[in-house]
Structure 1
Amino acid sequence: MVPSDTDRRWWCAAGLLLAAACLWGCRGAGAATGLPQRHSIRADQLLIQSDVRLPKGHPLLVDLERLRQDISTTLDLPVQEQTVTVYLFGDEKRYADYLQATYPHLPPRRAYFVGTARELAVYTFWGEKIQEDLRHEYTHGVLHACLKDVPLWLDEGLAEYFEVAEPPLGYNREYVARMSHLLANGWRPDLNRLEQLESVSQMQKADYFEAWAWVHFLLHESDDSRGVLLDYLRALRENPRPGRLSARLRSTIPHADERFLAYAATLGKTVATASAAERSQR
């Protein structure tokens, strides 16, 4: 989802796990709860339970298989062994009715990732932005299958990075254009503030944008910045609380904020050049 309607879309807060566990008894009934069961298709560690029939070579399925590999390659993570199950409802009403009955505390959203000790599950419905929604939520699933835990800001930043299907990977044109505008108006990053966000209610629309921007910076600014992120993800494979990434970043890159701003300005120029080229071709 784009930032205009993506408040925290995965729900795995410790305070809510008990409620989720209590629902497992009725969820097992399958048809009674309305979970999609009509069609089932598996590709490695991806299982899709769908109201809509998807042939094995369907573009959505192929895209998710490729995304799984892209996440593993880009982040230097092992390909996950735990299955991520996608529940694909045939229409928005069935999806909304199921979520309301099963997770009444969740606000309306097009898609959710729900991680529990029993299952890593994505819930969504067949709609205009099905590919974007699936890529975002499936990224959460792959990360939680590989790592002990993921800080909120990093979890969302990586999902925002991988949700864009068009090349180059992670290049969100809307975000880049917004970056250029914000920098022109004096905006400055604050990774320390992002790292203090721990709950759904704290995360605002601008936080998803800044989380994506930090991920893009870390992956692409330099070998040093990329190494900080990859080393941190390796730590998360064994330790759910390895400390804050910002401490590692500033130890490696003392003037990280200034480097971030310089990199962000370059992103803005890139999209401006691309836009000008498009206008000249019309």
Structure 2
Amino acid sequence: MKRVWLCRGREIDLSSPVIMGIVNVTPDSFSDGGKYYDPQRAIEHGFRLLEDGASILDVGGESTRPGAPEVSTEEELERVIPVIEALADAGAAVSVDTSKAEVMRQAAEAGAIIINDVYALRQKGSLQTAAESGCGVCLMHMQGVPRTMQAAPSYQNLIEEVRLFLKERADAALAAGIAAKSIVLDPGFGFGKTVGQNFELLARTQDFLSLGYSLLYGMSRKSSLGAVTGKASASERVVSSVAAHLLAAERGASILRVHDAAEMREALLVYEAMKNYKELK
């Protein structure tokens, strides 16, 4: 059966894994902070990600790395709206990575069709705003807040607690009028989890699929990958990022949120060839 993500009337085909390319319009993101802070450079980077194989562009104006400071609504809007407008006007499927209701609203007006929220629409006004926008939504699990989430992550039962949280947020979205086909879930790799807990999320992807929604995994260049590979610099974690996302895809994840679209696309071509070998000469 064909799986789709319904986003403001646009259907994104999730029958095979799709790539969500990261466009950070920030001076302080953990991997590429400042590199695409200038709007024009961010726009050019977005187009390059599309050429490299991304199907969705996730534009964010506030870093959610551990210890990141908060950004005002006005500053976040100044960062992301020009980038969203330019990419959406060119036909790109644009996601806005934000937790603020006003940023969600203006981003949708600028052409965004997806809201990707690390707070899973728990901030004031965000649930209603998302519902009114008609956007597709990604609801993520996070223990604590970005500033302190990695201080001392603790769970009695990691999988059950994350699963219950995601179900509760999906139910809240449905109750607010968001269509089931518009909802995607994210277990929150790196958001209030230890290294071992992050890899448990990856190993047990099927536990989250049983909720009945498509899954997004965002593990690109994260420190847990560096912890097991010995790569201290985020820019050195391209290979491990591709490997982690390929494992997620094999386990059923539909959307892979990455910095390195070209490398991810190449890996997925090999993966799809393995699955569809009967069609090859």
Please indicate the TM-score interval, normalised by the length of the shorter structure: under 0.3
* Structure with the higher strand share, 1 or 2: 2
Instruction: State the TM-score, normalized to the length of structure 1.
Output: 0.24
With the length of structure 2 as denominator, give the TM-score of the two structures: 0.24
Give the helix-richer structure, 1 or 2. 1
- Work out which of the two has the higher radius of gyration on C-alpha atoms and give 1 or 2: 1
